[in-house]
Every structure is written in C-alpha cells, then in structure tokens.
Chain A
C-alpha cells in the first residue's frame, strides 16, 4: 500500500514539474467536460421541469381530426365523454395563438369561464379585461390599467384592459399568456357557436386513463385523445434526442481531444525519457512506471472532471445555460426566464464519465506502456 502511495506522490511531483504542458491538457480536458456536463445537466433539468409541470395538466386532452389536421371540436362531445364511467368531468377549452405584429412575438391566448386566478381587489374579469404574462408585459411595456391591442380576423384593432400581470414565479407557464373571458375569446377568434378548440377530460383513477382514452376513441372515431403520460413520453424522447444530437455534434471535438491526449502522451520529451531511464536504472520495474503513468492520468482526469462538472453546474443552474439555451430549449421570441431546479443524478455523472474519462484513459494506455518500455541503457547513453 505504501508503495502505491509513494508512486502516486512521485507522479504528482512529476505533474508539477511539467506544469505548463499539463496545464494545456487540463484546460482542454476541463473545457470538454464542461460542455458535455452542461448538455447533460440542462436536458435532465428540462425533462424534470416538464414532468413537474405536466403533473397538473389534464389527464386526457381530446382533439378532433378532420382531413388529418386538427379541427374545432363540437361541444356536444362532452355529453358522450361524460357518460363513460370513470370520467369526473369533461369541459371545452378555448385557446389559440396570436401573432403580435408590433413585437414579433406569439402570444398564447386562453379563454376562461370565470377567473380561476386570484385577482387583486376584484371578483372577476370583465368581458373587455385581460390578464397577461410577464413576458407579454415586458415586450409590450404594459402594466395593470394599460390597454393591450390585438387585431381580430377582420382587421379591427380591439383594445383589452390589462387587469393584472402574472407573477414571474409562474413564468414558465404564463410568460407568453394572455387570458380573456370565454365569451370574449370566442368573439375575438370568431369560433362558431357549439364548437371549442379542444376538450379536457378529468379522470378519477390514474390507472383507468388509458382505458378511458381508448373508449373515447371507440365512441368518437374522429377524436384524438392524448393522455398526459403520452405528452410526457414525447417530451422525454424529444429532450433525449436533442441532447444526443448536440452531443453527436461534439463527437468530432471529443475525437480531436483524444487524439491530442494520445499525442501528448506519446511525445515524450528527452527529459522525460531520461527520467524514466534513470528510474529504471535505479531499480523501478516497468509495471511501476506504468502505474506512475496511470496515476498521472487519473489525477489529471479527476481534476478535469471536477473542474468541468462544477463549472457545468454553475453554467446551467446559476447562469441559466446561456451557451446552450438556443440549441436545447427550442425557439420562441418570448422566452420565459427559466430558473432550473438543480437536479443531478448519479446517472448523469456516470454517462459523463463514460463519454470523457473512459476514452481518455483508453487513449493513454498504449503511450504509457511505450514509455515504460524505455530501455535505460539506451537513454542514458544518448
């Protein structure tokens, strides 16, 4: 045991002696781990975020398909759906997107029957009132009491009085949201009477959700029921796919780095060769030299791994991942300012280890063997 510790000590002092050569390697190595850890942490955090958000979404959303596109849903489907045992409630939902030509942003416009949100000092929304998200408020420079002007399908500008702005803590849900009364939105978007955009279905027992979705599909063949878990699955695989995509773009960089590491490990300086020659001449075994090289690699890898993951953590969870945002989050003019919950699992760290440290160690095995096989006589004579 003491022998191994001595070899480790020697390896450490060797690393310090060749400070600049190793520093270059360490910087490149840490940078690589930083990028990859950022990708892994960010996608994982986004996945968890989506999961948490969807927990409060309706169990089943029912759309209608017409000619392969989704179309407005007849409201009388509600009766058919409610008659299925296990369904607590089904209700029509009125919502849509509104492109705001002044700011170039897309708003999500949602109709509510009565205000489901606590309003300061008032009971309910008036038909000409609206509630807006903080993103809408910032881009349009709107505050409570101002007017939000939206242009309806006939080209007439309609002003809505801002009755309130959603707090920023809910910004991932409400950032681009404009809430109107149900009658108002129907009138504004000119949704025909007896139709809704989609239906939301509440189910009492989570294990019945799939069966109920299937029954809806059987009773109303043109419907497209989407369950919450399906949305979740789709998100998960979307994020996995995106992070894998970004990762594979970095595969070139990874390869380049490993070739660099290989090269660094192979190209021994005359001084290093002398050192190894002297060590062998004074009685070090080839396996001791290999062990020393192994420790060197391990120390460098651990340092780079720690630096890379810590900076990756800071980048994603404290700075909001400015470098990767656009690649992984999607695109939109109104981005919610996202405060991600710092979640890291052992799994992320292990994947990171496999993507970086394992290939690095693999790349340095052969060079360190070559170094250990140096013939002391030859080196000392030259």
Chain B
C-alpha cells in the first residue's frame, strides 16, 4: 500500500517537515532559555540570527501543511476505487478510521502554524520583539503534535488493505463482506441549519460591534465565536450544505466538493472558512500575547475583524447560493 505515489509524497514531505520541526524545537529551547533582548552578547546575536531561519522554516511548514491537507484528501479520494463500497475519500477514510484523526490533526496543525506565522509577523513589526518567548513556547507545543500526526498518518497508510482479487475467490467473500460505510451520516438538517445561521449571525454582529465600538471583551467573544464557527461549519457542510451542491439528499461527502464535477466550489468554500476562523482569532490572540509591549494594535485588529467578517460572508454566500437558486429542496 505504501508504494502509491501520493503516499510516497505525503510520507516524504511529512518526514521533511518533522525533521525541521524537531530542529526548530531544539533551537527554540535555547531561545526560551537564553533570550535577553537587552543583552548584546555573542550568544544573543546568534540567537537573533537563528530566529530568521526558524521563521523561514515555519513559513515553509505552514505552506506544506496547507497543500498537504488537500493532497491527503486527494490521495484518499484516488485510493477509494480499491475498497469495496467506497465512493469517494470518505470510503477510504472509513476503511481505516485513523484517517479521520489524521485529517483533523492536519487541520489543527494548519491553524497552529498560521497563528505562529501571524505572531511572527507582528513581532517583526516591533523593535523589542515582545512575543519571542511565547512564540517558541508555542512551537514546543506544536512539535509533538506534528510528530503524532506523522505517526498516525503512517499507521493510516500501513493499515489500508486494498480489496483485490485473491487466489481462492474474489476478495468480496474473504472479507466476510462486512463492507464499509460509503458515506457519513450528517446531523439532522433543521437544528443544524438553525445553529449554523445563528453562529454566522452572531459572528457578524460581534465583528460589526467591535469595528464600531472597539470594546475589549468583544475581541475575546469574537475569538470564541471563531472557534465555534469552524466545527459548526464543517458539521453543516456535511449535514446540509453539501447535499445542496450534489442535489442528492443522501450524499453528504465533504470532499467531493473539491472535484471538478462540482466546479471546484470546495476550494473557495474551505479557504473562506479557514480565513474566517483565523481572522476571527487574530484580534484576541494579538491582545493576549501582547503583554506590556506597545504595538499599534487597534487599527490592525479592526482590519482583521473586517477581513474575518468578509470571509464569513463569502463562506455563507457560497453555501446559501444553491439553496436559493437551485430547484433542489432538502426537506429536514
């Protein structure tokens, strides 16, 4: 199973990423321990130089991670023909349920790396780099997650057994024909619709209030809503958004949206979802990590909140479009 080109590519890139993360964690430990922005010792200079390397590495890791997320889904989709009853990537992931964990981990790690890059960006805008130690502490949290993700991914691919013809008879019969579920059941439609639109509505209202009134607690509220928005939206895609695109009430696959058959609508959908989540998190995170440093955060926070609001609106517009303009009606 391991010899599929997509699997070779994924395992190879995850090996590279992990080596880089381990190195960064090691360098990060030294930074946490010896960093002193007031000092002008040789050690401090070498640490400061090293931060350039680490931020390049992390940007690289972030990029590979995002592409890897899609490559993983694509590979799962490409493999589905080899499993009895599998219709798309969902079938492959069901064939070895660790796959779902891998996918979830990839998503979480993407968010982590994006937050890290964001803090790095802020840091580079200031003289005294206030976030340095916090950033490298975050890196130390991320590294074991990266290693876990790589190991889970390896186990996932090792555990996939394609159903091919065996010598005694078709594989169908040797497998005791248990089969795998070809689709995932979505949450009930009506309640999910209410929940989704409530969350979107709250997000937009809070974002608007923050832009207008600039009250501090609204930032944290927005951050919390962004964290709720992500899982609720994914659940909604599975439950009622994707069936509208497929125009098929039984088809809940969140991955088929990425295919050309549906106009690649999944890409803008998922990208706006991720951006909406990230931009919603940024104002509260920047406030939280800021500490006592003096950053002109106000203006940026408003900008991020606006960007987050726009992303959420784009996401909602794409999701609502087929509900309004297609003849298909999904009865809860």
Residues on A lying within 8 angstroms of B by beta carbon are: 39-40, 43, 65, 68, 210, 213-214, 217, 224-227, 229-234, 236-237, 240-241, 243-245, 247-248, 286-287, 290, 294, 346-347, 350-351, 353-355, 358-359, 361-362, 365-366, 368-369, 372-373
Check A350 against B67 for contact (C-beta < 8 Å).
Answer: yes
Check B3 against A241 for contact (C-beta < 8 Å).
Answer: yes
Check A227 against B53 for contact (C-beta < 8 Å).
Answer: no
B2 within 8 A of A: yes
Check B16 against A359 for contact (C-beta < 8 Å).
Answer: yes
Check A248 against B8 for contact (C-beta < 8 Å).
Answer: yes
Residues of A within 8 A of B12 (CB): 354-355, 359
The bracket for how many chain B residues form the interface is 35 or more
Residues of A within 8 A of B4 (CB): 240-241, 243-244
Say which residue of A213, A247, A366, A372 sits within 8 Å of B170 (CB atoms): A213
Q: Can you offer 10 A-B residue contacts whose CB atoms are under 8 A?
A: A65-B168, A214-B172, A227-B172, A233-B82, A234-B164, A354-B13, A362-B60, A365-B56, A366-B53, A368-B56
Check B5 against A358 for contact (C-beta < 8 Å).
Answer: no
Report the minimum CB–CB distance from B168 to chain A (whole Å). Answer: 7
Closest residue on chain A to residue B258 by CB atoms: A346
Check B168 against A244 for contact (C-beta < 8 Å).
Answer: no
A-B contact count (CB 8 A): 131
Say which residue of B5, B74, B165, B168 sits within 8 Å of A234 (CB atoms): B165
Check A354 against B10 for contact (C-beta < 8 Å).
Answer: yes
Residues of B within 8 A of A210 (CB): 84, 172, 177
Say which residue of B53, B162, B167 sits within 8 Å of A365 (CB atoms): B53
Check B10 against A226 for contact (C-beta < 8 Å).
Answer: no
Roughly how many angstroms separate A244 CA and B75 CA in the complex, as a whole number? 13
Residues on B lying within 8 angstroms of A by beta carbon are: 2-10, 12-13, 16, 20, 49, 52-53, 56-57, 60, 64, 67-68, 70-71, 74-75, 77-78, 81-84, 124, 162-165, 167-173, 177
Q: Which 3 A-B pairs have the closest CB atoms?
A: A244-B3, A354-B9, A369-B53
Say which residue of A234, A245, A286, A347 sits within 8 Å of B78 (CB atoms): A347
Closest residue on chain B to residue A289 by CB atoms: B52
Interface centre among A40, A210, A227, A240 (most CB of B within 10 A): A240
Say which residue of B64, B83, B124, B172 sits within 8 Å of A358 (CB atoms): B64
Say which residue of B52, B82, B165 sits within 8 Å of A369 (CB atoms): B52
Residues of A within 8 A of B3 (CB): 240-241, 243-245, 247-248
Report the minimum CB–CB distance from B308 to chain A (whole Å). Answer: 22
Residues of B within 8 A of A233 (CB): 81-84, 162-165, 171
Residues of A within 8 A of B84 (CB): 210, 229, 233
Check B74 against A347 for contact (C-beta < 8 Å).
Answer: yes
Roughly how many angstroms separate A227 CA and B172 CA in the complex, as a whole number? 9
